[in-house]
Amino acid sequence: SDDTDRKKGAGSYYHLTHSELVALLVQREVELRRLKPQVKDLEDYIDTLLVRIMEQKPTLLQVRSKFK
């Protein structure tokens, strides 16, 4: 069940105290805030790259069938 899956994933956190869990959550939020701009930069880079490819050499984006 969904509840069982959730408990399996939470197994490594059961031994932590409330304050340790809060500290871990705060740490993860800091990491997430730090990573978000990097992800955005990579998305923008890929978008720009795709536009350039579509303008200059769109055939590079064609998927060739392996079954020909």
H-helix or E-strand spanning residue 41: helix 18-56
**Is-contact 8 14, C-beta < 8 A?**
no
Residue 68 has pLDDT above 60, yes or no: no
Q: How many CA atoms lie within 13 A of 39 on its CB side?
A: 6
pTM attached to this predicted model? 0.59
Domain extents in the chain: 18-56
Label residue 9 by pLDDT band (50, 70, 90): confident
Label residue 35 by pLDDT band (50, 70, 90): very high
CB atoms within 10 A of CB 57: 9
Over residues 22-47, the mean pLDDT reads: 98
CB atoms within 10 A of CB 53: 13
The most distant pair of C-alpha atoms in the chain lies apart, rounded to whole Å, by 60
